[in-house]
Chain A
Amino acid sequence: MEEQPEVVKIEQKFPSWRDMLKPVTEKDFKHGFYHYPILKRDAEYLKDYIPFGTRDWDPLDKDWKLPEDWKERFLNAFKDKLEKYRPFKLYMDICVRCGACADKCHYYLGTGDPKNMPVARAELLRSIYRRYFTKSGRIFKEWAGARELTEDVVKELYYYLYQCSLCRRCSAFCPYGIDTAEIVWRGREILNSIGVTHRFTPISIAACARTGNHLGLLPGGMAGALQSAAEDIAEITGVEIEVPINKKGAEVLFVAPSGDYFATPHWFGFMGYIMFFHEIGLDYTWSTYAGEGGNFGTFQSYELAKLLNQKIYHEAERLGVKWIIGGECGHMWRDKHQFMATMNYPLPSTLEDPVNPITGTYFENAAESKMVHIAEFVADVIKHKKVKLDKSRNDHWKVTFHDSCNPARAMGLFEEPRYVIQSCCNYFYEMPEHTIREKTYCCGSGGGNLTEEVMDLRMRGGMPRALALKEVVKKHGVNFMCTICAQDKAAFPILMEYWKLPVEIGAMMELVGNALIMKDEEQERTLDLRGNPLKRGEE
């Protein structure tokens, strides 16, 4: 007998506004939803940024062993953030609780938990803001939607601030443009100040501060991965490529997310980068120090983001490159596009405004940060017909494109990847309109949630995307979802397994690598980058 699938129940609850003020505590924390606490080893390493992390505590304990003066520290940190970040103060004040964001959150849709509505998530902090920083809250207390800061409230904040993937779909629908990600960041920062942090991101932050990348790959490992990818390329295309690493005086520095060096299906996109740059003859280099585009510091605090970010400009200066291309990474682009230049002001004087040496295009949009997205760069090269592409090599794929949250909503990168994909394959289908472009759904695992212990949350949060994908699988037989974010590539294969969708996940650059006709290629290609036989012209 075939095994019956487990039914995922979504329980919806509609509590009164007074009930909403009652904190959810460790007694109600559910497995698969709460995060493990920070490891002592990482807390020790990051103690200047996350104090008190080395104490013995567990989110399921009644006593979280907060520092004695935690309340004072919490409120001081809160005050500090209000003064430092104007948008945060604004977002604390202006919400009218219209509820337009409520059903836009993938976590709310997947869990039905009313506190996962973006408005409610922000209210967790707003209620404290009202009590301690506004007159009406001080006087009317609960009747003004204010509440006392207690240990239980801290527990609730920990539970729900780490159930947000910072995808900002809600802010696309908010009539005021309130950015919930900004609120959640500030909330996590405030929790950091009393040593309440989860485990997953600090591991990578510590590794990144030490080695330059989230995985903790050492230079030899990175060079080995690049070499191994070049071997794979030689096996499939017959073209021998020497990959430039830490090459001084190159024109361009290329920075990919470290997942690309390591994991599958990232790997095939990784091969795609190397093939493409080789084919157009770009004078570029990889770096074993600035070997990570992503920045998990962004999920934790501004200071940590800055700590990890500066390495890219340092390395650009050391190598003497003119500008930088960034790879298929998600949150990297919120970071690089919106904060990077001001975070690290002034920029090294060796950098110049990006101009594509192959086509002569001046990237005006990247003049401030000197960083160009790989999709923009490749689209530019293809538009100027500087490479030859054979679309039929991707005939075994029926492709759809998942807009990764941050390139879409933080950069407005909609057309470039689509242009590249459509130039590289014959069969391309869009998912329903309300699930793509600026309205794209999150994979459910972003923002520091890409960890085993919150698997239940991740699979539920990915449900809206899975349903949208199911639609095009049924209608058009889509079997390949292209995405330009390393977390997506790690998260989706598990999601496909869970929601039973026969779809492979891959990179934009994988499709480019497949379609790319290389000058030195002597024989007709028979395999795609995954080693599958090609099926040209077959429906």
Chain B
Amino acid sequence: MPELEVKGKKLTLDEDGFLQDWEEWDEEVAEALAKDTRFSPAPIELTEDHWKIVRYLRDYFVKYGVAPPIRLLVKQMKKDFGKEKGTLEYLYQLFPQGPAKDGCRIAGLPKPTGCV
């Protein structure tokens, strides 16, 4: 299994770069996950907009035990960023591999499974 070293601590990832234990996550881990090019073609520089989404994913997950539906996420973005930027296209600009693969990975959430 791949590993990620943050502050001298080794964290275990799964084969696709998702954190094995979601409780090990903090903001520095998120930075490290975003910069990890083993699982994404280019490193992602986390801006304030990225953080808003990451925090929303995180809060929703802690509350409901699963990542939010994409449509709820986009609705939230409309609230946070306004109509112009509250779109799926902008979401993909922020997270090129998509909210599940990049968004959830950086937010330390497990990959959503089932018929989705």
Contacts and interface: CB of A to CB of B under 8 A. Distances in A.
B43 interface: no
B113 A215 contact: yes
Nearest to B88: A264
Interface stretch (A158-166, A182-190, A216-224, A408-416): A216-224
Contacts of B15: 36, 453
A294 interface: yes
A127 B71 CA distance: 50
A149 B75 CA distance: 56
A224 B72 contact: yes
Given A228-B72, A267-B71, A487 B65 contact: no
Contacts of A294: 114-115
Interface stretch (A253-261, A374-382, A391-399, A419-427): A253-261
A313 interface: no
Nearest to B111: A452
Contact of A263 (B63, B64, B70, B75): B70
Contact of A487 (B69, B111, B115): B115
A451 interface: yes
Dominant secondary structure of chain A at its interface with chain B: helix
Contacts of B14: 36, 39
A83 B115 CA distance: 34
Nearest to A267: B71
The winner among A204, A262, A485 for most chain B CB atoms within 10 A is A262
Contact of A259 (B64, B66, B114): B114
A511 to B, nearest CB: 19
A450 interface: yes
Contact of A217 (B66, B70, B75): B66
Interface residues of A, number: 40
B64 A221 contact: yes
B70 A221 contact: no
Interface in A183-205: 200, 203-204
A203 B113 contact: yes
Nearest to A485: B115
Interface string B51-74: 000000000000111101111100
Nearest to B16: A452
Contacts of B72: 224-225, 228
A275 interface: no
B90 to A, nearest CB: 16
Nearest to B64: A221
A130 interface: no
Contacts of A453: 15-16
Contact of B69 (A207, A267, A329, A490): A267
B82 interface: no
Given A224-B72, A453-B15, A216 B65 contact: yes
Interface string A64-87: 000000000000000000000000
A261 B69 contact: yes
A490 B116 contact: yes
A231 to B, nearest CB: 8
A489 B113 contact: no
A115 interface: no
Contacts of A266: 115-116
A220 B63 contact: yes
B112 interface: yes
A263 B69 contact: yes
A258 B115 contact: yes
A232 B69 CA distance: 14
A485 B16 CA distance: 27
A217 B64 contact: yes
A459 interface: no
B42 to A, nearest CB: 18
B71 A217 contact: no
Interface in A32-46: 36, 39
A222 to B, nearest CB: 9
A214 interface: yes
B112 A264 contact: no
Nearest to B116: A263
Given A220-B63, A220-B64, A452-B16, A204 B114 contact: yes
A344 interface: no
A487 B115 CA distance: 5
B98 to A, nearest CB: 11
Contacts of A257: 115
Nearest to B71: A267
B22 to A, nearest CB: 11
Given A204-B114, A257-B115, A263-B115, 6 more contacts: A211-B65, A215-B113, A224-B72, A228-B72, A259-B116, A329-B115
7 contacts: A204-B114, A221-B66, A228-B71, A262-B116, A264-B70, A267-B71, A485-B115
9 smallest CB-CB distances across A and B, nearest first, come from: A214-B114, A259-B115, A221-B64, A486-B115, A263-B116, A215-B114, A262-B69, A487-B115, A218-B65
